[in-house]
Structure 1
């Protein structure tokens, strides 16, 4: 699942939950819209930071069929479970 798909799913789920909360009278529509926007922004930002860490970037590159070998720092190579990634010497 890529970041755009995750954001769309998250937005839909939060809008659904917000609709239920508005329907029960727990919050008003403006609050629901504000909370949905804020939560989607925060969650997608955290996901983006996690996916773009060194090991995440190397793992994504190793998953590409065109990539044959990746030489990485030893700590990054150990964090990526792929036979394509080897530590630098």
Structure 2
């Protein structure tokens, strides 16, 4: 799942939940909108930080068919489940 798909899914789920909360009178529409925006921003930021960690970047590169071998530090090489990624000899 890429970041755009994640953002769309989160926004839709939060709007659905906000609609239920507004319909039941727990919060007003402005609060639901503010909460949805804040939560989507925080969650997408956390997702972006997670996928851009060293192991995530190396895993993305290893998934490319044109990449044959990646030499990475031992910690990163062991964190990425790919035969293309290995520590230096």
Check whether TM > 0.5: yes
Give the secondary structure class of the aligned counterpart of 1:31: helix
Q: Displacement of 1:66 after TM fit?
A: 1.1
The residue aligned with 1:50 is 50
Q: Displacement of 1:17 after TM fit?
A: 0.4
Q: Displacement of 1:88 after TM fit?
A: 2.0
State how 1:35-74 maps to structure 2 within 5 Å. 35-74=35-74
Give the secondary structure class of the aligned counterpart of 1:20: helix
Give the Cα–Cα distance (whole angstroms) in 1 for the partners of residues 19 and 47 of structure 2: 25
Q: Which runs of 5+ in 1 are unaligned?
A: none
The list of structure 1 runs, each at least 4 consecutive aligned residues, that deviate by more than 4 angstroms after superposition, is: none
The residue aligned with 2:28 is 28
| Alignment partner of 1:79 is 2:79 | yes
The residue aligned with 1:14 is 14
Q: Which runs of 5+ in 2 are unaligned?
A: none
Report Cα offsets for 1:14-48 as digits up to 9, x if no partner.
00100010000000000000000000000000000
Give the secondary structure class of the aligned counterpart of 1:88: coil
TM-score, normalised relative to structure 1:
0.97
